[in-house]
Amino acid sequence: MACTSDCLENVCGDGEIGPGEACDDGNTDETDACLNACVAASCGDGHVYGAREECDEGPLNSDTTMCTASCKLATCGDGLVLDGVEDCDDGNLDDFDTCTSICTNIQAPELQLSFSQVKQFEFSWAAVLGAEYYQLHESADGMIPFVQVGGDIMGESVALTMPLHFRIHARYKLLACKGDVCIESPEVEVVSTLAAAVGYFKASNTGINDEFGVSVALSEDGNTLAVGAPREDSAATGIDGDQANDGATNGGAVYVFVRNGGTWSQQAYVKASNTDIGSVFGWRVALSADGNTLAVGARSEDSNATGVGGDQENNDAVGSGAVYVFVRNRGVWSQQAYVKASNTGADDGFGTSVALSGDGNTLAVGARWEDSSATGIDGDQASDADKDSGAAYVFVRTGGVWSQQAYVKASNTDVNDGFGVSLALSGDGNTLAVGAYFEDSGATGIDGDQANHDAANSGAIYVFVRTGGVWSQQAYVKASNTETLDRFGENVALSGDGNTLAVAAPDEDSTATGIDGDQGNSSFMSGAVYVFVRNGESWSQQAYVKASNTNSGDNFGSGVALSEDGNVLAVGARGESSDATGIGGNQASDTNENSGATYVFVRDGGIWSQQAYVKASNTDSGDAFGINVALSGDGNTVAVAAAVERSNATGVGGDQANNLASGSGAVYLY
């Protein structure tokens, strides 16, 4: 037994090194150089000596574990390969050798991006050795943070349908991943005009001067497209009849296309139940939100029938007009109703305009040349004292049966006002806007003086609301810069809730560009669009909208459409003359006269700005691209018509390059 200097028995922890003790520091701290057993600390003893050890797992320490053989925590770049976590560790953090900066031998992928119809972004890459899956990340406008698009990808390619007008500056990167470890590719930016991705739609029986695209409509989800060709000549009737004969010149037709995944195809070829020469069936089309109800106007149909389901066979009221309602059940279309005015008259043009509520149960029809002198709701329909004053009619469907609910006239009915040349319904069908593009008052703004005739053909809009099935006029709307011959009201659109109203004046004359510019009169027929908003029951103008490249004769406003929430606005300018193609091209050249253009605007916090300048993928002089436009509910799909485009292609994605069918027409999807 050993005795200390104090003549006490020697024990571990007394501060003196006795027999069998390697050390004795007089404390019980296991994190210093001397352990409680008076043994010197060493790597591998299971105790962490803080002065020189980061960890100590005892005999488990090795250069392939989290705690290395030298009692250090394993890190990427220490030259040691950590089992189950690191594929490699070459002692550096260089991404450009065989071992990357995160100690995996997965190499950075190389992302390739190409474009195809319809609206397809095609991403591809070579397989990365060791990668278990991939992720595609996107910055939609090139400025917002990247987010993953879709789920994890197991292959080496993916094709996505994109809203072209919202992806003109997008950036993409690909992540190659193993477990939770991912390596990013270099970024790929959209620098193309995306012309190759623009959907190009033609009739299944393309013919000279058929004017495919005079009218166009989209379902809310953007998966159903209806296109009118009012000068098509087949004598077929009903659904999918003989397209080959030309026995009814200008009888007209409608074509329905549907999208399945990323593929579009024609679903139906639609004709009137009483096809006849000159009826121009397809002059206007409208779709319900789900795309299952289709209304078609034939403004020059000749029957003298009245109401719903009357005699279609006579031609005793030339140019009186008719509307046809079709329904789709499990992909099959059939005619549900043949609709005429309650006061059918020759040359009234019933069907000049049509609109449907979201559920398809309310139908509004304009008769731009109707002649009654009545005013307001359900007035005297019998008098023809105000020639071409115009009227609108509202019909409702109950249990599949249609009936007329209201006969609608302007509050200041007058000769040749053209009330009913355009109209729009809110989603619930309770707000109706009607255009009278030849109305003559010199008033400006909301509810001004309707009685004067100081601005011939300046135009007006009338807003009506329905409460408990009863209609009444809510507002009389004029431009903020009313001028003679501006044709304010030639085209009109409403948001789903009816609280945003867009009104086109395609012959307005200001040289302004963009939003709320100078409203002077030095650019003849350049065109303008006016946006109004409703707060409660009160309307006010929110914006005066012009093209970014305003020019005389452009007719900005030849088509207008609003998204469901009213925050996306598409405006056609059929007379614009640039030779650009696709999205965001050169607006400055005027070498393709009347080729046409479309402009997409967005509203953020009540402020409007231009989002995109849109051209055809095969821009050519005289095509009138933008003569009509349509938007899906979310604004992510834009359909633009060029009713006198000249290719003889048929179907979707055909040859755009030839001009062998003058005036045949085309529709483009973005």
**Whole-structure pTM value:** 0.88
pLDDT attached to residue 648:
99
Domains along the chain with CATH numbers: 112-189 (2.60.40.10), 198-669 (2.130.10.130)
Please compute Rg for the chain using Cα positions: 36
Q: Which residues pair with 434 in a beta bridge?
A: 423, 462
Cα separation, 279 vs 654, whole angstroms: 29
Report cis status (omega within 30 of 0) of the bond before 477: no
pLDDT attached to residue 14:
80
453-456: long-range contacts, CB 8 A cutoff, minimum separation 24: 453/414, 455/482, 455/483, 455/484, 455/486, 456/484, 456/485
pLDDT, tens only, 402-438 = 999 999 999 999 999 999 999 999 999 999 999 999 9
Q: Which residues of 446-467 are buried (b: 16+ CB within 10 A; e: fewer)?
A: eebebeeeebebbbbbbbbbbe
For residue 473, give the H/E element and its range.
Answer: strand 470-477
**Dihedral pair phi/psi, residue 551, rounded to 5°:** -155, 155
pLDDT attached to residue 6:
61
Cα separation, 63 vs 61, whole angstroms: 7
Q: Which amino acid is at 129?
A: L
pLDDT attached to residue 21:
85
Cα separation, 396 vs 392, whole angstroms: 14
CB atoms closer than 10 angstroms to residue 59:
8
For residue 630, give the H/E element and its range.
Answer: strand 625-631
pLDDT means per 10 residues, the chain with 670 residues, are 61 81 82 83 88 89 90 90 84 75 82 98 96 98 97 98 98 95 96 97 99 99 99 99 96 99 97 99 99 99 99 97 99 99 99 99 99 98 96 98 99 99 99 99 98 97 98 99 98 99 99 96 96 98 99 98 99 98 95 98 99 98 99 99 99 97 99
Q: Cα 352 from chain centroid?
A: 26
pLDDT attached to residue 308:
99
pLDDT attached to residue 170:
98
pLDDT attached to residue 25:
83
DSSP 647-670: ----SBS---S---STT--EEEE-
pLDDT, tens only, 338-364 = 999 999 999 999 999 999 999 999 999
Q: Which of 659, 643, 639 is nearest to 203 (CA)?
A: 643
pLDDT attached to residue 436:
99
Strands (E), 546-591: 556-562, 568-573
Q: Which residues pair with 540 in a beta bridge?
A: 533
